[in-house]
Amino acid sequence: MNVMLSIFPPLLSDYTVLALFIAGAIAGGFINGFAAFGTALFTLGFWLAIMPPLQAVSIIVVSSTVTGLQGLWLVRTEMRQHPKRMSRFVLPGIIGIPLGIASLQLVNVDDLKLIIGIFMLGYGLFFMARKTLPTITGYYPVADIVIGFIGGILGGLAALSGALPTFWLSLRDWPKAEIRAVLQPFNVTILLLTSCLFWWQGVYDQQTLILLLISLPINIVSAQFGIMIFKQLQDIHFRRVLISLMFVSGVITLISALSVFS
């Protein structure tokens, strides 16, 4: 136990740090298994108290990619049935990543997070209050491409790749498995490329790799619980939970952004 605890930054007492680390890993794995997005938002609230932001994010992008593979297997049939739909989001998202990274010097990321947080909170609150959810039907390939592209930019710029696609897909009249068959490969692709960028920049030092190895088993197991709940929900209930998660994610994003200005 003492050997494992010794690798954590000495910001808090040993057992408090361990509890926060495990709680963050459980929260991130569960939300990835259930909704295929929001891992960073739900994990960073715990991990930023015990480690630097870059180290926390670098672990999250790898663990999210690995746990996301379980979600990909879950909806493999839907992915094979709608490859063009999936590619309309994923391919533009890949193009958007380097543009988001290049924009880091031009855009205030905290201001951007504040704007996105307000949007997510307002969107979630508005639709949570409605008895019936609006449904977008029809074929909108241009909208899919634009949303995937902007999602890639936001992923490279502020690690918020899933925000806009989740907003759009939660309004579609697709079954929950088809929604996940877009969200999961989109986020896995964006996060995988981001982790490769971190590796190229030399972010993964020995301590970070040890923390990652500790986190991964916890992520994988907790993701299975999220997947179990995903399987039990009806399509309309899944859409409502996605909207509720948008609200919660908006609150977390706002708190994160406002803490910078305090």
Q: φ, ψ for residue 172 (rounded to 5)?
A: -75, 155
Q: What is the pLDDT of residue 120?
A: 78
172, with CB counted inside 10 A (0-12, 13-18, 19+), is middle
Residue 213 vs residue 125, higher pLDDT:
213
Q: In which domain, by residue range, is 8 found?
A: 2-261
The yes-or-no verdict on residue 25 having pLDDT over 90 is: yes
Q: Summarize pLDDT for 219-240 with one digit per residue, the tens.
A: 999 999 999 999 888 888 887 8
Q: Which of 169, 177, 156 is nearest to 89 (CA)?
A: 169
Domain count, the chain: 1
**What is the mean predicted confidence (pLDDT) over 127-137?**
75
**What is the mean predicted confidence (pLDDT) over 164-173?**
87
pTM over 0.95: no
